[in-house]
């Protein structure tokens, strides 16, 4: 039973964070991203990616990065994928132009 409660808490927290970030993005004229919580060193990490059907994921990622005043990662995973980050001490936020495929 504890695993079910833990999973429920994790999914609820992730959904609340995603809703909060996407509501903020909407107020800034941005389409929603898919968000997930990732383990990262000692602080919580949020990873955002465009939805699979996004027409121009690169442009959307740049617009989110500009709105959040993020810095571009100098070492992208692939040449055609941009990654941006913001370290807020208690939170680490990263967005990537590579869509998140469900089941990943």
Q: Over the stretch 69-88, which tens digit does the pLDDT of each residue have?
A: 999 987 766 777 889 999 88
DSSP letters, 33-82, are EEEEEE--TTS-EEEEEE-TT-S-HHHHHHHHHHHHT-EE-SS-SSTT--
Confidence of residue 1 (pLDDT cuts 50, 70, 90): low
Please tell me the pTM assigned to this model: 0.83
What's the pLDDT score for residue 77? 66
> Is residue 40 predicted with pLDDT exceeding 80?
no
Checking if the pLDDT of 67 tops 70, the result is yes
Distance CA 84, CA 18 (A): 17
What's the confidence (pLDDT) of residue 54? 77
């Amino acid at each position: 039973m504890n695993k079910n409660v833990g999973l429920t808490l994790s999914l609820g927290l992730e959904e609340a964070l995603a809703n909060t970030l996407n509501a903020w993005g909407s107020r800034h004229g941005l389409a929603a991203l898919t968000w997930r919580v990732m383990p990262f060193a000692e602080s919580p990490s949020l990873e955002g990616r465009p939805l699979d059907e996004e027409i121009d994921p690169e442009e959307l990622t740049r617009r989110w990065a500009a709105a959040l005043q993020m810095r571009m990662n100098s070492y992208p995973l692939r040449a055609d994928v941009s990654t941006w980050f913001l370290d807020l001490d208690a939170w680490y936020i990263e967005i990537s132009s590579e869509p998140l495929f469900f089941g990943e």
